[in-house]
Amino acid sequence: MLTQTLDREVVIIGSGPAGLTAAIYAARANLRPLLIDAPSDAERQTTPGGQLMITTEVENYPGFPHSIQGPELMEAFRLQAERFGTEFLEEWITDVDLSERPFILQTGNYTVNAQTLIIATGASAKWLGIPGEAKVPIGFGGNGVSACATCDGPLPGFRNRELVVVGGGDTAIEEATFLTRYASKVYLIHRRDKLRASKIMQDKAFQNKKIEFVWNTGVEEILGEGNSGVTGVRLVNLQTNETRVLPCAGVFIAIGHKPNTDLFKGQIDMDEVGYLITSHRSTATNVPGVFACGDVQDATYRQAVTAAGTGCMAALDAERFLDHLPIPMPTGDEVTIEGEHVTPDHQAIIEPDGTMIPNHVALSAQDE
Ligand X SMILES: Cc1cc2nc3c(=O)[nH]c(=O)nc-3n(C[C@H](O)[C@H](O)[C@H](O)COP(=O)(O)OP(=O)(O)OC[C@H]3O[C@@H](n4cnc5c(N)ncnc54)[C@H](O)[C@@H]3O)c2cc1C
**How crowded is residue 360: how many other Cβ atoms within 10 Å of its Cβ?**
10
Find the shortest distance in angstroms from Cβ 365 to ligand X: 55
Identify which range of 206-214, 237-245, 248-256, 291-299 contacts ligand X by CB under 6 A. 291-299
Strands (E), 14-62: 34-37, 57-58
Quickly list H helices, 240-329.
304-322
Site string for ligand X, 35-74 (x = CB under 6 A): -xxx-------xxx-xxx-xx--x-xx-------------
- 148: contact with ligand X by CB under 6 A: yes
Find the shortest distance in angstroms from Cβ 161 to ligand X: 18
**How crowded is residue 230: how many other Cβ atoms within 10 Å of its Cβ?**
27
Closer residue to ligand X (CB): 164 or 296: 296
Identify which range of 120-128, 193-201, 203-211, 350-358 contacts ligand X by CB under 6 A. 120-128
Site string for ligand X, 296-335 (x = CB under 6 A): x-----xxxx-x----------------------------
Q: Give the angle 169-173-176 at the CA atoms, nearest 5°.
A: 140
Closer residue to ligand X (CB): 195 or 249: 249
- 96: contact with ligand X by CB under 6 A: no
Closer residue to ligand X (CB): 279 or 336: 279
Pairing assessment for the beta strands 103-107 and 110-119 based on DSSP bridges? antiparallel
* Residues of this chain, 190-229, that bind ligand X according to CB under 6 A: none
Which residue in 36, 37, 73 sits closest to 54, CA to CA?
73
Which residue in 253, 245, 230, 117 sits closest to 175, CA to CA?
253
Query: If residue 149 lies in a helix (H) or strand (E), which one and from where to where?
Result: helix 149-152
Pairing assessment for the beta strands 334-335 and 327-328 based on DSSP bridges? antiparallel
Interface contacts to ligand X, rule CB under 6 A: 13-19, 36-38, 46-48, 50-52, 54-55, 58, 60-61, 92-93, 120-122, 125, 146-148, 151-152, 260, 263, 294-296, 302-305, 307
